[in-house]
Structure 1
Amino acid sequence: MRANSEKTLARTGVYAFLVISAAFFLMPFYVMVVTSLKTMDEIRVTSIFALPDAPTLQAWVTAWQSACTGLNCNGLSVGFFNSVMIMVPATVLSILLGAVTGYALSFWRPKGTELIFGILLVAAFIPYQVFIYPLVRMLSQVGLYNSLAGIVAIHVIFGMPIMVLLFRNYYAGLPRDLFSAARVDGGGFWVIFIRLILPLSPPILIVAVILQSTHIWNDFLFGLVFAGSDNQPMTVLLNNIVNSTQGEKAYNVNMAATILTAAVPLIIYLASGRWFVRGIAACAVKG
């Protein structure tokens, strides 16, 4: 009886700690939601924790359609579609190139494999700010600066090191007998990759898609420097809305705009969180 009561007490303590921790980390999100549902008159006279007396979605509509970013008052909708056009091709290309390169470094091992892998590994930890000015000059020379193709290329380039690291380590843990048997049967580089390696890759592909898509969506620095005024992603427009100095600070619109900007990566994590955990576990086992 005493042992059971101690286990119950310990379990209760753990759950209480988890509930308190969750409430602590969710409190800012709660404040953002309730503030976005209030009018400015209500925000001025009530506590930030108080529920809205008459909830309204007007701030959300304004943030999406007509919030001003400088002289333009088109809201976040333009930035949303820009972010989609940047994220989708950059994610697909970086994962495809990372998978092929990781496959080559794991099974085919051309000359200089270890050197190439070492360079990619080092590049993954160099601060992005070091490369900004050289990249601006390079993209300007080839006519890709301030263009959609340019910002996609930047995300592909900087996504390659971590993608190669992920896929190379995952493929290195696959049984080499499968690869050797495919070689004996006459399979070439692309045949083995498409018909054997890719069908074994869903766990690492899921991890790569989640990591790369959320990283690209949340990016601010590259979008600000390389995208140009016509291709600014959602994060850049959010910064412009929040830091606008025209008139009063519309805290309800700012909160709504922040939630809208964070909605896509949040939905990705909520929808595929368990697959992400399974993919990480599978990679750990394979590695």
Structure 2
Amino acid sequence: MNVFTIRSAVQSVCFVILLLLVLSPVAVALKAQKPESMQHEESTSEQRIGLLREEVAEGSDSAGSSTALGGSNLDLSAGKENLNVLQAMGKLNFWLLFLAMACGMGSGLATVNNISQIGGSLGYTSKETSTLVSLWSIWNFSGRFGAGFISDHFLRQRGVGRPFFIGATLLIMSVGHVIISSGLAASLYIGSVLVGLCYGCQWALMPSITSEIFGLNHFGTIFNMVAVASPVGSYILSVRVVGYIYDMESPPDEHACQGKHCFALSFFIMACVCLFGSAVAFVLFIRTRKFYRQVVYARLKSFLEK
């Protein structure tokens, strides 16, 4: 049988062309935002209060703080910069959120993309791996629903910023990856439940954090720029980590790998990646806690007291 093969150079050219086509909508969005960004910086640079108030003086007395918070609704609403995508990408908080999402969403997608191979390595039947995918979908939905409710509750009651829950879910996700890497009985069921639950939580929390930190005027563009972290992280972890190690552990004359050694190292690496992402998310939480307490929490309290 004659098999037609494409040269690696041709494959590389096709890859670059496809990559440019995929990124072309981003170029359109950036071009549309640039004139507005320049005009905004020239005309209102002195009027912007700054969303996170990172330069708020540490020595401000409590009386002044309460006056600033309770004085008027204008103070609360003016604390929210409605940044466009270029301005948002110029903020450290954007990249902290992006990096945390790349670690969490990327490792979550890498897990579900390779769950059939993992099940096959451990001797699961096709029916059992199908059940795992179904369980993943159920817990993914549960995470999206539960994360919104829990984060809303703690934000209303205690003023806890949502980035805290991103960090917490990444910690739990790290535990899930470690459980899967152990290869013990039922470890794939337990680990996939934890990873799927936390993956859903992150998709529920990320849009809310994006709107609260960067404003609503350009929410759609900024949200989708942050969401790019998901395929980026998935490609790195799924192809360059899980796939590469799986192929490396497979016997040269076989296409499949059997045993927990096929994926143990890759899931341990993803556990470390999630730990790193959790640390990044907690840095974002520390940087934004004043904003959540002084602006978001105060606004919610004033709304509920009406």
Same fold (TM over 0.5): no
Structure showing greater radius of gyration is 1
TM bucket by the smaller chain? 0.3 to 0.5
TM (norm. structure 2) is 0.35
